[in-house]
Structure 1
């Protein structure tokens, strides 16, 4: 079967949830038995979000093959339950870099390089590469219709739609239908103007997905269908929901599969969403409830921890528990405030991050859990913090620190190494030298678990696991013997690098250098995070 393409664009304003809509459609199509993938095209000029501040862009999601991508890829993986790759996300910066590289090599035989056909040709080529071998490729165009930087992408999908033909391409436009409280009315004009702008570019949408605070009603849907030139069954509402995982079920109930099938000639489509539905019930109305402290330095912008907060929801669904988060700004944690801020929580999670800001507060959190036998999960920086605190408080190494915080520190429990070597002695291909300097360890790596360790038990007794990384600094093996002699166990290793540490006498104390949240799914919660939540529930 020739690959069919569904292009998802957005109008009126940003952050309406194109990523969730695209992931929801993909979930339904996959559940109906089709081979589906998703691609995110980001119009910003950065090559990737790897050097962007979390406060600027939110989380950087890392794929198994080491690509630093937009956070929407996290939604795609969590909904589809599949690993994606660097093929599934590209930016304007990457497109222009590739075209300029080819021009410098002489690939264009001296021709003048222009947006059309060279930039659009590169975009179309990348879209086709991502769709190879799939029944359906869903292509989400970032930004909003009318943005100047998005024009080459919109022109590219217009051209590709014409090339593919009527039954192989579908355009879905997601817009806002705002509720004006003073007038007591839902307003359709923003959607009409947005569709008008899209049509001016040459793209005629086949379906509208309308974000709204409340249900549109049949009359309003028919009005939108008539004014925007789409079929009545192709106006789908997307009302605010208690959980994003309800969106596929809402779309299914409105007959979105029949509408898509009719446009793309896919025949009868019936999705099996029974397991998904049961898990969503546990997310929305669980039997139990706990509160954990989420200690981090980006608590003002929760998008910085998107994969982790979603992973906690997954673990909550698996245990039929609502996991409430008490957001704790690590800059506000001090020796005299730690107990009052943390004592009412069933467990403490210290998340990843870069730089010195907020580190002293994270140290106080690690000390509190170690001395009170409170369940603890430290991720990336959270593991490093636990090692430094242990070295200072238990080993008595008062100058213990990280080379990230103090490049000239005399006791670098955490240090920067120049390269990462795999078992064969070759450099790992996913190790990446940043333009800012320093070696970045990116992507999925295998980790050997110590037999009988807490880490191994979390993963069902496994001796070998694979998780994803995004960091520059590592635990210094020179301190390993002293740490273990004092009661801390190194329970995970990867080619000589320390991957996990725990305190066996503690109720649940686990630090991991990798990011377990990147591999968590609604149907398959990450084992380390699930183990932590189970320990919190038991407490």
Structure 2
């Protein structure tokens, strides 16, 4: 057995006599999986998740199996209770995990279904350690940040490698080098690279090149200092990606190369892009994918035939982006409109549908706290369709109902998502069924006509974390409905949910008698999950979050329907919805 193998064996020992503690999953084989660590310097918000997902996609195209993971520094167990104003949208995985929006970027770019194994927070790490300590797993040791916390991080990464049988695990560290809350993640990276041995790891540092308008030139000092800070942690970057508003100059790249001990060809420029879907081509053009393969010594795992086919499909998608010949404006009517990241998946789903239909989808942001029945027309008369997205609580709810009413009465294409589905039911009950006092018990606990009420299984639950009706679930589709046609005449579809409230079963018959059609429901349960209104150009709602499963090459059908209907409104003489049938046949 080599010394390197001895090292990995010894650090996995649990002993009160040893300073080592680095648990290794049973059956883990050193050398099979490689690790790419992506960290940020200078500032947050550089697009580490976008960069990491695009690089992972290029490796995936080559037939290399990849598994991403996002490590967050906050002490929350998950992202479920985070305010969208502070942290953007909560992305829900199929297994019900509420996580960071970057997981959505990975799923979309890789067309890969992720799980809770692909997301970790400090809260999860510390909770696991404290449970083990109470269980007596540490054999009398004093539990410390090093080696126990770093050991738990390494264990999670190795478990992911084993569970997914990945060739490369892409590890994104949230925040910036120097942040107190992610310092132990960076130390765990250093330890893991040392234990796994040479050619096991590749460190990518994203940095930012400043370009003050008063100077008119790029400055690299902040980037140099940020990279030095990473090196002081014992980590030598393998690749440096220079984010900037414009391409990093050769002079700047040379400076960074000299001061960071990174070859010039591995200091790449990554300027702002009009679309994240252009970034894979940017990385491929500079040969970053093959450079990573060489650094990790996995050239023998590359399947060039697979890459040619995958890249051809991506190029077809890119070509569609350049051939867009129509436009439409969709209004997003919510209460988090000042922070666009709150609706990241909806924005992406609209873009996917627009590209597929050759339509440039513009978004108008409408804060529903300002909307009433009286002024709704002023907010909505210049849009071709609207979305009422998910949300919670009373603020802005009546404004959303006013938007639903305007869309229904004025034949404006409408898509209601989760809370928007519930608002559509309330509006229809009030103004069509004559139930003037209809409401949701979430908004008005003692309302006399609770057409929306809390799910029975939710009534006994206390607390707010991770206990909603979460994750992927089947929906039975009613034949000969719009939903049935949109989903290719499928009897059922799987979609993701995140809610506590439902249509009260006592009102279903009355709503249907008035003309509302519930075209999708939960199997063997009276939980209504899709609604539509016959005779309307496009009035559609779902209790699910369809945006979470939209992909660049596989647009979500409900969004295709909305964009097609919006285009039909703007271009009434063209038979645009036929394009949807063409997509489904392909």
| TM tier, smaller | over 0.9
Partner of 2:338: 300
* Aligned pair partner of 1:223 in 255, 274, 279: 255
Of stretches 164-173 and 259-268 in structure 1, the one that deviates more from structure 2 is: 259-268
* Aligned pair partner of 2:371 in 333, 344, 348: 333
Of stretches 410-419 and 205-214 in structure 1, the one that deviates more from structure 2 is: 410-419
Partner of 1:400: 438
* Aligned pair partner of 2:85 in 55, 59, 65: 55
* Aligned pair partner of 2:471 in 443, 458, 473: 443
Instruction: Give me the whole-angstrom Cα distance separating, in 2, the residues matched to 1:283 and 1:299.
Output: 26
Partner of 1:424: none
Instruction: Give me the whole-angstrom Cα distance separating, in 2, the residues matched to 1:92 and 1:382.
Output: 33
Of stretches 229-238 and 89-98 in structure 1, the one that deviates more from structure 2 is: 229-238
Instruction: Tell me by how many angstroms 1:331 deviates.
Output: 1.0
CA 1:312–1:17: 2 relative to 1, 3 Å: same
Report SS of the residue matched to 2:447. Answer: coil
Instruction: Give me the whole-angstrom Cα distance separating, in 2, the residues matched to 1:433 and 1:130.
Output: 31
Instruction: Tell me by how many angstroms 1:5 deviates.
Output: 0.6
Report Cα offsets for 1:243-263 as digits up to 9, x if no partner.
011111101111101211220
* Aligned pair partner of 1:391 in 413, 424, 429: 429
| Equivalent residues in 2 for 1:126-141, closer than 5 Å | 126-132=156-162, 133-141=165-173
Segments of 5+ residues of structure 1 without an aligned counterpart are: 421-430
Alignment length (residue pairs): 529
* Aligned pair partner of 2:512 in 484, 491, 497: 484
CA 1:437–1:180: 2 relative to 1, 3 Å: closer
Report Cα offsets for 1:147-180 as digits up to 9, x if no partner.
0111110010100011112211110000001112
Residue 544 of structure 2 corresponds to residue 514 of structure 1 = yes
Instruction: Give me the whole-angstrom Cα distance separating, in 1, the residues matched to 2:551 and 2:464.
Output: 33
* Aligned pair partner of 2:131 in 90, 97, 101: 101
Instruction: Give me the whole-angstrom Cα distance separating, in 1, the residues matched to 2:461 and 2:158.
Output: 29
| Equivalent residues in 2 for 1:406-485, closer than 5 Å | 406-419=444-457, 435-436=463-464, 439-485=467-513
* Aligned pair partner of 2:185 in 145, 149, 153: 153
Contact 2:404 / 2:424 at 8 angstroms: preserved in 1?
A: yes
Instruction: Give me the whole-angstrom Cα distance separating, in 1, the residues matched to 2:485 and 2:369.
Output: 34
Instruction: Give me the whole-angstrom Cα distance separating, in 2, the residues matched to 1:109 and 1:289.
Output: 65
Partner of 1:114: 144
Instruction: Give me the whole-angstrom Cα distance separating, in 1, the residues matched to 2:231 and 2:363.
Output: 44
CA 1:464–1:89: 2 relative to 1, 3 Å: same
Partner of 1:502: 532
| Equivalent residues in 2 for 1:304-319, closer than 5 Å | 304-319=342-357
Segments of 5+ residues of structure 2 without an aligned counterpart are: 1-30, 570-586
Instruction: Tell me by how many angstroms 1:264 deviates.
Output: 0.7
Contact 1:434 / 1:440 at 8 angstroms: preserved in 2?
A: no
Instruction: Tell me by how many angstroms 1:438 deviates.
Output: 9.8
Instruction: Give me the whole-angstrom Cα distance separating, in 1, the residues matched to 2:413 and 2:474.
Output: 25
| Equivalent residues in 2 for 1:256-335, closer than 5 Å | 256-267=288-299, 271-272=307-308, 273-283=311-321, 286-335=324-373
Report SS of the residue matched to 1:211. Answer: strand
Instruction: Tell me by how many angstroms 1:378 deviates.
Output: 0.3
Instruction: Give me the whole-angstrom Cα distance separating, in 2, the residues matched to 1:405 and 1:181.
Output: 49
CA RMSD, Structure 1 to Structure 2 (Å)? 1.6
Contact 1:120 / 1:152 at 8 angstroms: preserved in 2?
A: yes
Of stretches 26-35 and 177-186 in structure 1, the one that deviates more from structure 2 is: 177-186
